[in-house]
Amino acid sequence: MEENTVGRVLNIQHFCIDDGPGIRTTVFLKGCPLNCAWCHNPESQSHQPEIMLREEKCVFCGDCAAVCPRGAHIFSDKGEHTLNRSTCAGCGACANKCATGALEIAGRVLSVDEIMADIRTDAVFCRTSGGGVTVSGGEPTEQPDFTVALLKACKLEGLHTAVETCGYCQCKVLRKIAEHTDLFLFDWKLTDPELHKVYTGVSNHLIVENLSLLSSLGAKVILRCPLISGINLTEAHYDGIIEIAERESAVQAIELEPYHPMGIGKAIALGKPAVYANSDFLDKETARQIMKYISARTHIPVSVSGDPR
C-alpha cells in the first residue's frame, strides 16, 4: 500500500510556529541537491544516515568502539576520540550505546504510517490553530514518491499541507507534489545566477523556472529569503527579491530569514569543514532595515522570521 512507502527522515518537530501558518508538525527529510555555504542543517544534505560526534561530550568510555561492527571509533593515548568516516556505515549502534549524547545518528528510515502516527499525537492543536504539517529538509523533492504519499495521507486527515523547497528539481516532480500542497515555502537565496552557483553549487535558472510553474498552477508561495553577511546583503539582491515577487503571481508574502551560526557546530560534528564559518548572528535590526527597503518597493507583505506577525 502507498501509505507504507518509506523515506529517509532527519527529524520530526512538533509545535513549530515558523514553518507556515498556525501550529505545525514539521517533517525534515534527508538529502539536498544544493550545498549552501551557510547551511544551518548540514546533517540534512546527505541522503544517507550519518553519525555526528561531539567530542566535547565524550567521556572516553570506549563503549562505542566496543559495539561498532567496523571498528570506526579510534581512541588515542592523547585522549582524542576520532571517527573513521570512510569505514563507518552509519548503522547507529554506537549512538544507541552512547550514554552522554556525544554520538547521534542523523537520519532514519520511517514509513508514512509511522510518521502519521506521530503527527496524530498533536494534530488537534494543528487543526484548531489553522496550522498543519510542513515537509522540509534537506529537500522534499529529492524523495518525491515519499513526499507525495505523506502529503496525501495528511490531506486525507484534513491537515493543511506545506512544503519547504529550494526549487531545484524536475518540473514534473514539482507539479506532482503541488497537487497535494496548500502552501509552498520557496527559498530564494541569491538573485545572480553565477553567485548562486558559487555559493550553492548550482545555478538558479531551474529554480526560477519552477517558481513560474507554481504561478501557472495557481499555487500559493511564501518566498523565503536568507540574509547572509558578505554574500547577499546587497541592494541588487533585494531588488531581485522585489522583481521576482512582483512578477510571480504565486508569491503571497516575503519572509526574510536572518543568518544564524547553528550549522557550524553541526558541520564540525559531521567531520565537515564549515565553509561559511561566521559565528555571528545577523542582528534583527539589520534585517528590519532590509525589510523596510523591500516593503517600500512592493505591495507584497514582508516580514522578518521570528518577529510577531
User: Do 6 and 116 belong together in one domain?
Assistant: yes
Within-domain flag for 130: yes
* Residue linked to cell 553577511: 229
CATH number of the domain that residue 245 is part of = 3.20.20.70
User: Do 142 and 223 belong together in one domain?
Assistant: yes
pTM: 0.94
User: Do 130 and 237 belong together in one domain?
Assistant: yes
- Decide: 34 and 139 in contact? Cβ < 8 Å: yes
- What pLDDT shows up at residue 271? 93
Using alpha carbons only, what angle is made at residue 50 by residues 49 and 52, rounded to the nearest 5 degrees? Answer: 145
Residue 217 has pLDDT above 60, yes or no: yes
User: Do 70 and 120 belong together in one domain?
Assistant: no
Residue type, 197: K
- Distance from C-alpha of 294 to C-alpha of 298, rounded to nearest angstrom: 6
User: Do 18 and 69 belong together in one domain?
Assistant: no
Cα torsion for 111, 113, 117, 118, to the nearest 10°?
20
Within-domain flag for 309: no
Helix axes 284-295, 235-247, angle to 10 degrees: 50
- What is the dihedral sign for C-alpha 26, 31, 35, 40? positive
User: Do 11 and 115 belong together in one domain?
Assistant: yes
User: Do 128 and 19 belong together in one domain?
Assistant: yes
In the Cβ-directed half-sphere of 29, how many Cα atoms lie within 13 Å?
26
Number of domains, the chain: 2
Helix residue spans in the chain (DSSP H): 63-67, 93-97, 112-119, 123-128, 144-156, 171-178, 193-200, 205-216, 235-247, 262-269, 284-295
Burial code (b: 16+ CB inside 10 Å, e: under 16) for 70-103 equals eebbeeeeeeebebeeeebebbbbbbeebeeebb
User: Do 173 and 38 belong together in one domain?
Assistant: yes
User: Do 77 and 157 belong together in one domain?
Assistant: no
| Domain final residue pick, 105, 124, 143 | 105
User: Do 116 and 67 belong together in one domain?
Assistant: no
User: Do 78 and 114 belong together in one domain?
Assistant: no
The parent domain of residue 75 ranges over: 54-105
Q: 2, exposed or middle or buried, with CB in 10 Å at 0-12, 13-18, 19+? A: exposed
Within-domain flag for 267: yes
Within-domain flag for 190: yes
Residue 61 has pLDDT above 70, yes or no: yes
Banded model confidence at residue 1, pLDDT cuts 50, 70, 90: very low
CATH number of the domain that residue 70 is part of = 3.30.70.20
User: Do 96 and 194 belong together in one domain?
Assistant: no
- What pLDDT shows up at residue 171? 97
Select from 26, 31, 2, 45 the least CA-distant residue to 271: 45
Banded model confidence at residue 79, pLDDT cuts 50, 70, 90: confident
